[in-house]
Amino acid sequence: MKYSVGYDPPVGRTNRPAMLAKPIGPIKELLIKGIRYDGSTFRPSDWAERLCGVAALLDSDAIAPIRAHQAARPGFHCSSHVRPAIISGVICVIVDLRLRELEKRVWDFVTGFAHDNNLIMLEYCQFAGGFV
């Protein structure tokens, strides 16, 4: 049986070999919520972007001089291990737990910031786009 271009044949009716998906292991992360332990919302509203921006500067090999980084990096940049998010309407920062071993000073800065500002921190495990 021949199929026309753009036609997706039913499962099991193709000569192409099946591609097996690689199992994705759990991704362990730290969630820093923009809510303090007393229930108040942390301000300013762009704290997550600011924290991720500083983490990106600390994580990069080429640290720009003070104040010159804004001209050198006109767009928002964040570390691949520290990223902002909005979860259920709450501004948060998600930190990959591997950062603890990869870049200790960034880990200390980010977790120190959360401790100093009394922010709620939770460890969680993410499986292929879902939370456990």
Q: What is the pLDDT of residues 11-60, one digit of tens each?
A: 555 555 555 555 556 668 899 999 999 999 999 988 998 888 888 877 65
Residue 39 sits in which domain range? 27-131
Residue 22 lies in a domain: no
pLDDT band at 101; cut points 50, 70, 90: confident
Residue 94, domain CATH: 3.30.70.2340
Residue 9 lies in a domain: no
* Domains held by the chain: number: 1
What is the average per-residue pLDDT within 79-92? 88
Question: At 75, is the pLDDT very low, low, confident or very high (cuts 50, 70, 90)?
Answer: low
What is the mean predicted confidence (pLDDT) over 94-120?
Answer: 91
How many CB atoms sit inside 10 A of residue 30's CB?
A: 20
Cα angle vertex 40, ends 105, 107, to 5°?
Answer: 10
Q: Which two tokens stand for residue 130?
A: 């879902």
Q: What percent of the chain has pLDDT over 70?
A: 59
Give the confidence band of 83 by pLDDT, cuts at 50, 70, 90.
confident
Q: Running DSSP on this structure, what letter comes out for residue 74?
A: -
Q: CA of 117: how far to CAs of 8, 11, 52, in Å?
A: 54, 54, 16
Residue 6 lies in a domain: no
* Residues 23/24/25/29 CA torsion (nearest 10 deg): -170
- Find, among 126, 127, 82, 90, the residue nearest to 108 by Cα: 82
pTM, 2 dp: 0.65
- Specify if 11 maps to a domain: no
Alpha carbon dihedral 31, 111, 114, 118, in 10-degree steps, equals 110
